[in-house]
Structure 1
Amino acid sequence: MNFQIKRRFFVIAVASFTATVFTSCGSLQNNNTTNTASNPIAKTAANTVVTGTKEKIKIGVTPVPAGEILEFVKKNLAPQAGLDIEIVTFNDSVQNNTALKDGQIDTNYFQHIPFMEDFGKRKNMKMYAFTPQIHLNPVGIFSKRHKSLAEVPQNALVAIPDDVSNAHRALKVLEEAKLIELKPNVQPVSPKDITKNPKNLQIKEIPGSQAIQTLPDVDLSGITGNWVVQSGMKTDKDALAIESTQNPLYAVTLTTLAGKEKDPRIQKLYKLLRDDKVKQFIKNKYRGAVLPIP
């Protein structure tokens, strides 16, 4: 890697660290509460207020794409279903799950099952994930230097996410594209599990948030759909290879605390998120950067 690339990675890494510190210290962007002590409307369950025929439910999301998808549901489907949806936006996954644990929200919509299970083990928190899942932020392989994978040269520099689950996903897409081979039956895989590397690809693990900024400095980059959406790229036109929905292990779904999964409000919300109108909205808006789960 030349000096210019090293310098760019260093500068971005410092900026990313600073942003992460401030993000992790942030608070809820939406912190509206209902004072039931002075409100004559009866409270029927945690975070639930019956207003006429509508039941209120609070959902934690990340802004894109989950927040946008839920906003579509709130405006177009929830009123007829008798749900009054309050969207609580987080930029930090730890805060989102902590708010769920503390009862500040009823459910959240931002994480895939492997992330939920790992978080639960580390934080001693039991959660429930609804399946089939709702959408996949697929990992795509992108390049600003090459128009096809056939153009990728020997010793090419390839960036992949540095978190365990997304690194696994990016490496599997590279394997499906015949650029590398990985040890079989390993879950999750990492760069050390590469068994064949005909082009001697140089794998560089970086935070996912740096993928777009560093794209001009590398030959290939594995980028998840949520970052692609925010970058303005179009997965259906720009990705050289993409993750499939045939085995949607890393698809995002609705989650809640174990034991609350039978809450009628949450069940109703899950059905709305799985509605065909939502699937069509996802297809039309994100053009492959986000994929609805069949």
Structure 2
Amino acid sequence: MKKSVKYLIGTLVVIIIVVAGYFSFGGAGKKQSKTLTVGLVAPTNKDTQIWNTVKKQAKEKYNLTVKTKEFTDWNQPNKSVANGEIDVNSFQTQDFLNQYNKANSNKLTSVGQTVITPLRLYSKKVTKVSEIKNGATITISNDAANEARGLKLLQSAGLVKLAPGKSLATVKDITSNPKNLKIKEVDGSQTARSLPSVDAAVINGGFASSGKINLKYTLFKEKLDKNAKPYINVLAVAKNNKNKQAYRDLAKAYQTSAVKKQIQKEFGPLILPAWTLKIAD
């Protein structure tokens, strides 16, 4: 055999051994590092502590680096995911996401559940629903999903009745209002700020937390039954990313016992880890 041929064969053998060793001892076999950017809306220090725990779990368990980007309102994060400016967002309920998809060609989907915040009716002027006076003013969020949810809460509290069969009820769908309540629609971020100047307000849990609204002002709370399933918060991603490993790993990193403990530490009964509840099944 010619020396050149022997040399070539020997070189190939060495390359094969090196490549095999690379796969066997952690080179290509080791999970490759990946970075995902998650959009959050007006996160409080409590939210930041939870996401710090998620970041730690993601890095330690899945070699996944998680970065966060802050937004000031609910209008931008979905657009940013759809446009590829960020990878994931974490701020909305499944119902909110469904409404966004209906209006925007069904671009996004959920990759995992995070928390659920039972919606609450608060007041600093009365201590019981029955004490709300005729003609009282109640503020609710003005976006479609949260307005409908707020009105359903008022109906459950016995304050109004809504036309049946409406998936997205508005104030125009109120069929009975025995106390002649004035339902004032405001931006969700303003509901907590409005509380001192109105008789009552329906406030999303995140805004109640950032507005430091004490739970003692709760008049009525949403029940955690099957009707609450649409209000579970989710991690939203572009549809073509749903089955990619990094995104699935992010959901797993969120749904860990360490994150559950952090949520309970920061929020107590205000915000709950949805994946641990029966309604999350």
Normalised to the residue count of structure 1, the TM-score between the two structures is 0.74
**Distance between the aligned counterparts of 2:110 and 2:173, measured in 1?**
29
State whether residues 234 and 287 of structure 1, in contact with CA within 8 Å, keep that contact through their aligned partners in structure 2: no
Which of 183, 189, 208 matches 1:209?
189
Q: Count the aligned residue pairs.
A: 243
Tell me the residue number matched to 2:168. Answer: 188
State whether residues 61 and 253 of structure 2, in contact with CA within 8 Å, keep that contact through their aligned partners in structure 1: no
Higher helix fraction: Structure 1 or Structure 2? Answer: 2
1:53 and 1:124, CA in 2 relative to 1: closer, same or farther beyond 3 A? closer
Tell me the residue number matched to 1:255. Answer: 236
Tell me the residue number matched to 2:258. Answer: 277
**Distance between the aligned counterparts of 2:186 and 2:267, measured in 1?**
25
1:160-210 CA-to-partner distances (Å, cap 9, x unmatched) read: 111111111111111111222222222111222222223222222222222
1:242-293 CA-to-partner distances (Å, cap 9, x unmatched) read: 1233222122211111121111111011112122332232222113332221
Matches within 5 A, 1:1-294: 54-64=33-43, 67-76=48-57, 78-124=59-105, 126-131=107-112, 133-235=113-215, 237-246=216-225, 247-293=228-274, 294=277
**Distance between the aligned counterparts of 1:63 and 1:205, measured in 2?**
20
Give aligned-pair identity as a percent: 29
1:282 and 1:201, CA in 2 relative to 1: closer, same or farther beyond 3 A? same
**Distance between the aligned counterparts of 1:152 and 1:93, measured in 2?**
30
Deviation at 1:121, TM superposition (A): 3.9
Tell me the residue number matched to 2:14. Answer: none
State whether residues 122 and 201 of structure 2, in contact with CA within 8 Å, keep that contact through their aligned partners in structure 1: yes
State whether residues 55 and 265 of structure 1, in contact with CA within 8 Å, keep that contact through their aligned partners in structure 2: yes
**Distance between the aligned counterparts of 1:147 and 1:270, measured in 2?**
39
Structure 1 residue ranges (4+ consecutive) displaced by more than 4 angstroms after TM superposition: 65-68
Deviation at 1:105, TM superposition (A): 2.3
Deviation at 1:119, TM superposition (A): 2.7
State whether residues 61 and 109 of structure 1, in contact with CA within 8 Å, keep that contact through their aligned partners in structure 2: yes
**Distance between the aligned counterparts of 1:177 and 1:94, measured in 2?**
29
Return the letter of the residue paired with 1:59: V
Deviation at 1:222, TM superposition (A): 0.7
State whether residues 245 and 291 of structure 1, in contact with CA within 8 Å, keep that contact through their aligned partners in structure 2: no
Tell me the residue number matched to 1:36. Answer: none
Return the letter of the residue paired with 1:55: K
State whether residues 112 and 253 of structure 1, in contact with CA within 8 Å, keep that contact through their aligned partners in structure 2: yes
Deviation at 1:53, TM superposition (A): 5.5
**Distance between the aligned counterparts of 1:93 and 1:172, measured in 2?**
21
Deviation at 1:68, TM superposition (A): 4.4
State whether residues 128 and 219 of structure 2, in contact with CA within 8 Å, keep that contact through their aligned partners in structure 1: yes
**Distance between the aligned counterparts of 2:249 and 2:265, measured in 1?**
24
Select the structure of larger CA radius of gyration.
Answer: 2
Deviation at 1:76, TM superposition (A): 4.6
1:162 and 1:98, CA in 2 relative to 1: closer, same or farther beyond 3 A? closer
> What is the aligned-residue RMSD (CA, Å)?
2.4
**Distance between the aligned counterparts of 1:124 and 1:68, measured in 2?**
34
Deviation at 1:211, TM superposition (A): 1.6
Could you list the runs of 5+ residues in structure 1 that have no partner in the other structure? 1-50
